[in-house]
Structure 1
Amino acid sequence: MKNNKLRTYVLLLVLAVPAVWISAKVRLPHFVTDSMVVQQQSRWTVNGSADGKKVSVTTSWNGKTSTATVGADGKFSVDIVTPKAGGPYTITFDDGSKTTLRDVYSGEVWLCSGQSNMEMPVGGWGKVMNYEQEIAAARHPEVRFLQVKKQIAYTPQADTEVNMGGWRTCTPATVENFSSIAYFYAREMSKRLGVHVGVIDCTWGGTPAEAWSAFEGVSSVPGFENETRMLSDNGFDKDRLKADYESRIARWMQLALSDDAQGEAGGAPSVVLKGDNLPSMPVPNLWEKTALPAFNGIVMMQRALDIPQDWAGKAVELRLGCIDDEDVTYFNGVKIAEGSGYNVKRVYTVPAELVKAGRAVITVRVTDFEGEGGIYGDNADLAAVQDGSEISLAGDWQYKVIADFSKLPHKPVSPESSSFPTVLYNAMLYPLHTMPVKGVLWYQGCANVGRAEQYSPLFRRLIQDWRKLWNDDSLPFYFVQLAAYLQPKAVQPESEWAALRQAQADALQLDNTAMAVAIDIGNPDDIHPKNKQEVARRLSLIALRRSYGHNDVVDRAPSVAGYDISGNTAELTFDGEVKVDGTSPTGFIVRTDDGKWAKAKAVMTSDDTVTLTAEGNITALKYNWADYPDGNLRGTTGLPVLQFSINKQ
């Protein structure tokens, strides 16, 4: 009896071992999936984990099998040499249970990264030019998409989460919420090259360059000492970083509301504004465009309204549009709500017991930390509503500056924010480095406007660190210069947008970089211009010429090759023929020996020469140097001439 029991136990044990072995499953990174494109003729390192002791990998393009040993931690790594462009192929991983990647193509892979203008989808919140037709026509099986999920981390990660379940073939359904520039670029390149093109959408709107930078890189650039010290002092630990930040921001807000940080009115903030001579601003509108240019701080904004008798004693819905960045809202001096999120529409309820017939006052305390601020949207977004009837809240609002953040030390950045240094590099970018790419397309910079002096070394270091990550010192890195934005000004030598564009151009010092100029396709009222097709086309011209040897392709307009400044005249010679949109060149400003800047008179004196004249002796000149400049010089293929600045030697 005992022997029978023993034999049964041994038999069950023997049967159990194969069961475990058979259930083994290879686990691959989230970005290694069916329908992917691998960079042709490259060495691709695939990391994964498995339950078996060994993993065999078989590639259908050559029928060869290689074997990797699984470590004690359950992880393995295998190098795969990819073939010339072609497919479809399969890749099979086997540790006793097979995992097969299907519909794999070898072709060209480009990493597309940056903030909202690179993120901007074909449809969705972006709605590019002719988006409905573009979506309907997006049936391109030779174009493949991978979209990295938005996430943050304080140390480099081994894997990253992705949307749509992994790589997807281009269809109307997959393209709608995918990067429009990445899509239009891939569409053009697949057509020109005749191969499959995979594009990786690794983007996050509103994010600065430092969030996409490596810890060592951002530590080398002045101005980030507080953040890098926070990371190292707190051991890169999430909970410790959060506690440290909460302490820092509390001290900063105390300072913001102290007398030293007050606006011109000074004094402690009052919930209800009083006085007949308070200034006003139009709402909805960003205050940078109206009453408070280049302002970050706290502003009390107020609007009076007459409550009808039949509204008394009933709850009222307040629709306040979007508020950038945070708000605390009061009704007749009583707080009713608070909100945050620059693009979130505020809809609040005034309790019935606060609603009385007659004059009422809505006061909104708006805090804008950086960039644009205020109450904005459409007129229809602002109203007090009850039982289907409404009172418009659009129009002039009184305001009072409570705190001017320009008088303060830099506001602490939340480590939970997508703007915190290194967090996107660690979580979204770093894991991808095991996958070879042909090059990088980058469109970012808006979130760094106002910090051009810092951006110049930061951006160059970012490029170098990304190349180091991919172990390729010559990895092509092609980027888009910021488009024109904000209201046109004829003379604006102090433009922060122009300064940031120049900081971007400084990266051209690095080998194998190039810049697509988009200054001519901006919109004064929209930071997200709709013509992303042209931006992608210009990037494709750069790639075709510089990465694929299409020397017949023109990828830039002529630039200044020489100049002569003498007295009140400046002669500029370009390295190619330039054309003028209109009758004479525009966009030039000059500084004369009295130190003042003014518009210059410009004429074309030959196909490649522009001559400027001024009222006094010229000491410096700039072209297209403004937030929204009006320069009209182009090359013969229509590409715009790059902005430039020249000081007399």
Structure 2
Amino acid sequence: MLRAAAVFSDHMVLQRNKIIRIFGQGVTGREIRVTLGEDRARTLCRQGKWTVCLPEREAQEGLVLEISDGEEKIRFTDVAVGEVWLAGGQSNMELELKDAEGGPALLREGDFPGVRFYYTPKQARPGEDLEEAERSSCWECFGERDAAKWSAVGFFFAVQLARRLQVTVGVIGCNWGGTSASCWMSREALLAREDTRSYVEEYESSEAVQKPEAQQIREYQDYLAYQEAWDKKAAAVYEKDPMMAFDRVQELIGPCRYPGPMNCANFTRPSGLYATMLKRVAPYTLRGFLYYQGESDDHRPQDYYSLLTGLIGQWRQDFGDEKLPFLLVQLPMHRYRHDPDTKSWCIIRESQMRAFHMLRNTGIAVAIDCGQFHEIHPKNKKPVGERLALQALWGVYHLIPEQEAFGPIYRDFLYRDGGMELAFDYAQEGFICRGEKISGFELAGSDGVFAEALASFEGDRVFLRAREVKEPVMARYLWTNYGEVTVYGANGLPMAPFRTHIF
């Protein structure tokens, strides 16, 4: 039976100015012929799979894509050629437009013909359910019903690009809340790195996966039924007292069992969604990746840099382009009211910034001021999407100056007059304080004990002094899971958090 991969459908967006890969399944030995406008390509179906490459095209709309094998024929209409980005990550990339700040009004009143969206079906296991979900999936154009479930970050990013580039922008959503980066990498890639090997080893040695597959599935289904009931009880409790401590909630209604037994049916298992989601859309021709993730890796922040850089390399390889742009969202402020400040998110943010500095063709949207206290899913997604767009417009499309795309980023320091002078990139026009005073800076001496520092702006530099630290050795800024953000560049983008010494 002739089939194109599920990501090909009516209303699809194909990448302009790059070789276009079309792929799918068919009968081994048959010749596959593909036509897009005046372009034609052919290949043989081998071992039930086929891929053809069509030549580069400029932006265009209203095309028809036809695929045939001499016996069967597939026809897709309203095909656009424009810009295509994959939006990966977890719940903050997944957060839907209908739930975002300003989203409902945009859905009712907006008109965005230049933005289209494909959502990779969320399926944890291969099999008939996955195939049925793919048969029901398709590219969507903007409309109040369909766009309601689009990624808000992906949407706001695409709106900016479509307006600036004057082409259709397509977003492929490939994300799932609560997932570690290890969910989106192959078993082989995880095992290849010392820092990530344990994700696989711990999973495969656990008691849960030693059981027969049918029992694993049954136990996970039992968990889902329990958790659904628990979630309803929890919602009722939080409606009465939104700030109740999580431990107290569990005392009242029983234990939360999320994420359930870590077995073959659990979507959070290592490498699971790599197989059932990412690989189902690869190697669709893209311009690049958007990635908002890290929250679910805060229990092992020291491993995140290796995990993230491994993921970037693998995704680029899977999509057939080692230079594909990879645009990161640096995590915003977050802490639940009753949680201690573990500073684990600081390490995640630092790893994201380090990946930006160390890997070519990456960008970073600093979202430190886009968080909400006691809320891991902040609703103000517009600035996040727009800052990602700034990264693309500078680093990918070269349409704006670098200075416009970044807030201040720490560069180096020197000791002076009993304090520390910090130098920054992207601060040529100075800084802005949004708050009663400049806050968030700290100094420490050789003992490593930090104290609040008094900060003053000196052109493109910041000078720090602390009464309790007579001989400062190191400095840091916003080294906290949640705190007030007060320092911005002249362009309105926030200063990125940092520390001068890693130890």
Q: TM-score range by the shorter chain?
A: 0.7 to 0.9
- Provide closer, same or farther for how the CA distance between residues 216 and 45 of structure 1 changes in structure 2, counting only shifts above 3 A: same
1:429 aligns with 2:278: yes
SS in 2 for 1:520: coil
CA distance in 2, matches of 1:573, 1:206: 37
Does the aligned pair in 1 maintain the 2:86–2:288 contact within 8 Å?
yes
1:640 aligns with 2:489: no
* Post-superposition offset of 1:399: 5.9
Does the aligned pair in 2 maintain the 1:571–1:612 contact within 8 Å?
no
Structure (1 or 2) with the greater helix fraction: 2
1:77 aligns with 2:67: no
SS in 2 for 1:58: strand
Deviations 1:489-512 (A, max 9, x none): 9x96x5112122112222111111
Aligned match of 1:100: 75
Does the aligned pair in 1 maintain the 2:125–2:264 contact within 8 Å?
no
Alignment of 1:279-318 (within 5 A): none
Aligned match of 1:322: none
- Provide closer, same or farther for how the CA distance between residues 232 and 241 of structure 1 changes in structure 2, counting only shifts above 3 A: farther
Alignment of 1:215-614 (within 5 A): 215-222=187-194, 225=197, 228-229=200-201, 240=212, 339-340=226-227, 344-346=231-233, 377-379=238-240, 413-486=262-335, 494-508=342-356, 509-552=358-401, 554-565=404-415, 568-575=418-425, 576=427, 577-582=430-435, 584-614=437-467
Q: Pick from 120, 123, 138: which aligns with 2:95?
A: 120
CA distance in 2, matches of 1:204, 1:169: 22
* Post-superposition offset of 1:178: 1.1
1:190 aligns with 2:162: yes
- Provide closer, same or farther for how the CA distance between residues 380 and 531 of structure 1 changes in structure 2, counting only shifts above 3 A: closer
1:35 aligns with 2:11: yes
CA distance in 2, matches of 1:632, 1:55: 59
CA distance in 2, matches of 1:435, 1:227: 28
Alignment of 1:146-161 (within 5 A): 146-153=118-125, 161=133
* Post-superposition offset of 1:447: 0.6
Deviations 1:311-353 (A, max 9, x none): xxxxxxxxxxxxxxx89xxxxxxxxxx9325972139xxxxxx
Aligned match of 2:115: 143
Does the aligned pair in 2 maintain the 1:89–1:102 contact within 8 Å?
yes
Q: Percent identity, aligned pairs only?
A: 27
- Provide closer, same or farther for how the CA distance between residues 48 and 398 of structure 1 changes in structure 2, counting only shifts above 3 A: closer
CA distance in 1, matches of 2:473, 2:237: 42
CA distance in 2, matches of 1:159, 1:517: 38
Deviations 1:280-339 (A, max 9, x none): xxxxxxxxxxxxxxxxxxxxxxxxxxxxxxxxxxxxxxxxxxxxxx89xxxxxxxxxx93
Aligned match of 1:367: none
* Post-superposition offset of 1:519: 0.9
Does the aligned pair in 1 maintain the 2:337–2:374 contact within 8 Å?
no
Specify every segment of 5 or more residues in structure 1 that has no aligned partner in the other structure, as ranges. 1-24, 250-325, 328-337, 348-373, 382-393, 406-410
Does the aligned pair in 1 maintain the 2:455–2:462 contact within 8 Å?
no
Does the aligned pair in 1 maintain the 2:100–2:380 contact within 8 Å?
yes
CA distance in 2, matches of 1:231, 1:396: 30
Deviations 1:556-589 (A, max 9, x none): 1122333123574112122322222245421012
CA distance in 1, matches of 2:288, 2:269: 25
TM-score, normalised to structure 1, is 0.67
SS in 1 for 2:4: coil
What letter is aligned with 1:119? E
* Post-superposition offset of 1:376: 5.1
1:630 aligns with 2:484: yes
CA distance in 1, matches of 2:250, 2:26: 65
- Provide closer, same or farther for how the CA distance between residues 114 and 571 of structure 1 changes in structure 2, counting only shifts above 3 A: same
TM-score, normalised to structure 2, is 0.85
What letter is aligned with 2:156? F
Deviations 1:204-263 (A, max 9, x none): 0111110011212211344665653588799xx99756768999x9xxxxxxxxxxxxxx
CA distance in 2, matches of 1:194, 1:120: 26
Deviations 1:341-399 (A, max 9, x none): 5972139xxxxxxxxxxxxxxxxxxxxxxxxxx99521189xxxxxxxxxxxx998896
* Post-superposition offset of 1:464: 0.7
- Which protein shows a greater Rg? 1
- Provide closer, same or farther for how the CA distance between residues 230 and 529 of structure 1 changes in structure 2, counting only shifts above 3 A: closer
Specify every segment of 5 or more residues in structure 2 that has no aligned partner in the other structure, as ranges. none
Aligned match of 2:472: 618
CA distance in 2, matches of 1:648, 1:568: 22
- Provide closer, same or farther for how the CA distance between residues 621 and 395 of structure 1 changes in structure 2, counting only shifts above 3 A: closer
Structure (1 or 2) with the greater strand fraction: 1
Does the aligned pair in 2 maintain the 1:440–1:478 contact within 8 Å?
yes
Deviations 1:119-171 (A, max 9, x none): 00011xxx11122211113432221110011113489xx98944863111111
CA distance in 2, matches of 1:232, 1:167: 36
- Provide closer, same or farther for how the CA distance between residues 512 and 172 of structure 1 changes in structure 2, counting only shifts above 3 A: same
CA distance in 1, matches of 2:191, 2:95: 30
What letter is aligned with 1:548? Y
CA distance in 1, matches of 2:210, 2:137: 27
SS in 2 for 1:377: helix
